[in-house]
Structure 1
């Protein structure tokens, strides 16, 4: 589990809209929790979501025309693979063949999942948070970053938003067994820079390999600097240091920063850390995590809630008949 830094989320208390997808079992658990309406007192004292908090502010929108263009061919390249799309079902014959192959050759599925989950699903989740193109409607998450917070709609800003979410996943990956966590991190970073290189070429029309390499080095340096500053805040368990890191890296050190909007991003980060701290290695390693939306808040889990969540997680990953499919075997813990 993560350090107690993730539990410094007093800003989340008394909210009655559990929004985190802790996995399928936890989603059902969260859904059952919202059946009872909050009392009038709770409603009066409920903490607003990051988006609602930011909307109460008045920082002017920063217009910027430096947005990527997208044609049909590029759109196809940027889309998620079929197996990441909602509702996709693997044919039964492929499932049977895959299980036989894994069993016969003793495939390390934890290693495989580092690529399919860390380097695919989790990367697309990070990438999608601030993804935007000219003349296209913004997603709900992108609206928060560009419209509500007023950040410039540029390629560089997309990279900063993506890197912020990559760091959030890094925090959780470091809490996994060392080799597995490093593998997940490496696959995530590899996919990030492979995608950036493709987007520079296809979207931004940077056709010179030398110029692309120069941009790639700059993005790499920015990523290291941002991760270092966020790590410092996490290690010190300080919202002040975290706010300073966000101010430098997300708001580009704007001297006219609206503090309310800065607080909204800090609150957003603390929400994600709390959710990441609340799921087991097994659930996280299998991709049973989604970022909490900026328009949502999270209930703090009681001891009973945590016990119920653990029970549901074990029900999902430990079949009652005790027979685990070869592809579902893992050394990752269900308890932490």
Structure 2
């Protein structure tokens, strides 16, 4: 299998390693447009331009579909183990004092969060689209191809990586590596099972090409995150829209709002909530508004009730323990 290096740890954009305590990460004015109170889908559908729609048919009908997660029964069942295995596992964790914040990177980033990224643009011939996939393929008129699915998945993976880089370094790095490793492993299997690519040489070439694309889009999106919406629109145009000459500017506007909104929600999640896999991408049909001080206070109250064991009087089992902060 092609080994993918940790592309998210390069020092090109060291500014993005800041913690959430840095106001430049939390205080993002762009996703909270108080004038245009439309969802990304509403913005995309407001266009009056008559642009030719690309071929919107899946190129290959798969001989079999890959599961959203993996073939492992434990992963399919949410890592539910038999009671005796749980008891043994809890005893081992306590005895060896295992750092569960590191261990969670595999099942959370490599399973839960990868599945969340994968499903956003997932499409198969003659099957209905999810709300988010409909937004990408029908509202902003992207072609239904494997390469386009890669671009959509990579965009969502990048947004998660931004949040992972705001975690303590030794944990965030591990989460990022598990996410990208799972991405390329799943693509290798999808190329064989769904795209009928039976040659390992051709498959490896595809993966190398996609790896190069991923490196490029991470650089361009990082630059956009650290600058402004114009730079973000340019990055989306080059990557997601494949630098189309006749791209609809309204569709770019919708995508900028979609991305900034997701980043805002991610910035408001505590490290512990995020590390436990509680983030879900917000539907493009929904409008993201700025949290009020009262809402943020309520979120902290709920976190105290769940995680502050001195307050709620609960005794956590070894696998539930975490050193990550639950405060925003």
For this structure pair, what is the TM-score category when the shorter chain's length is used for normalisation?
Answer: 0.7 to 0.9
Alpha carbon RMSD of aligned pairs, Å?
A: 2.3
Matched, 1:123 2:114: yes
Aligned to 1:170: 161
Say whether the 8 Å CA contact 1:114–1:187 is kept in structure 2.
yes
Judged with a 3 Å threshold, the aligned counterparts in structure 2 of structure 1 residues 60 and 86 are, in CA distance, closer, same or farther, namely farther
For residue 205 of structure 1, report the CA deviation from its aligned partner. Answer: 1.4
Give the alignment partner of residue 52 of structure 1, picking from 18, 42, 49: 42
Judged with a 3 Å threshold, the aligned counterparts in structure 2 of structure 1 residues 208 and 85 are, in CA distance, closer, same or farther, namely closer
Q: For residues 94-122 of structure 1, what are the alpha-carbon distances to aligned partners after superposition, in whole Å with 9 as ceiling and x for unaligned?
A: 54343223223322211111001011100
Aligned to 1:268: 258
Aligned to 2:320: 328
Matched, 1:250 2:270: no
Q: For residues 268-294 of structure 1, what are the alpha-carbon distances to aligned partners after superposition, in whole Å with 9 as ceiling and x for unaligned?
A: 001100000001111101111111111
1: CA distance, partners of 2:230 / 2:26: 15
Judged with a 3 Å threshold, the aligned counterparts in structure 2 of structure 1 residues 287 and 267 are, in CA distance, closer, same or farther, namely same
Judged with a 3 Å threshold, the aligned counterparts in structure 2 of structure 1 residues 78 and 132 are, in CA distance, closer, same or farther, namely farther
Give the alignment partner of residue 157 of structure 1, picking from 121, 130, 148: 148
Q: For residues 250-284 of structure 1, what are the alpha-carbon distances to aligned partners after superposition, in whole Å with 9 as ceiling and x for unaligned?
A: 11111111111100000000110000000111110
Aligned to 1:70: 62
2: CA distance, partners of 1:160 / 1:250: 6
Q: Secondary structure at the match of 2:104?
A: helix
Judged with a 3 Å threshold, the aligned counterparts in structure 2 of structure 1 residues 12 and 331 are, in CA distance, closer, same or farther, namely same
Aligned to 1:110: 101
2: CA distance, partners of 1:199 / 1:254: 27
TM-score (norm 1): 0.83
Say whether the 8 Å CA contact 1:11–1:47 is kept in structure 2.
no
Q: Secondary structure at the match of 1:12?
A: coil
Of the structure 1 ranges 315-324 and 120-129, higher mean CA displacement relative to structure 2 is found in: 315-324
For residue 312 of structure 1, report the CA deviation from its aligned partner. Answer: 0.9
Aligned residues: 304
User: Greater RCO between the two (CA within 8 Å, min separation 6)?
Assistant: 1
Gaps spanning 5+ residues in structure 2: where? 1-19
TM-score (norm 2): 0.85
Q: Secondary structure at the match of 2:247?
A: coil
Aligned to 1:38: none
Matched, 1:181 2:172: yes
Gaps spanning 5+ residues in structure 1: where? 15-44
For residue 90 of structure 1, report the CA deviation from its aligned partner. Answer: 5.7
Of the structure 1 ranges 185-194 and 78-87, higher mean CA displacement relative to structure 2 is found in: 78-87
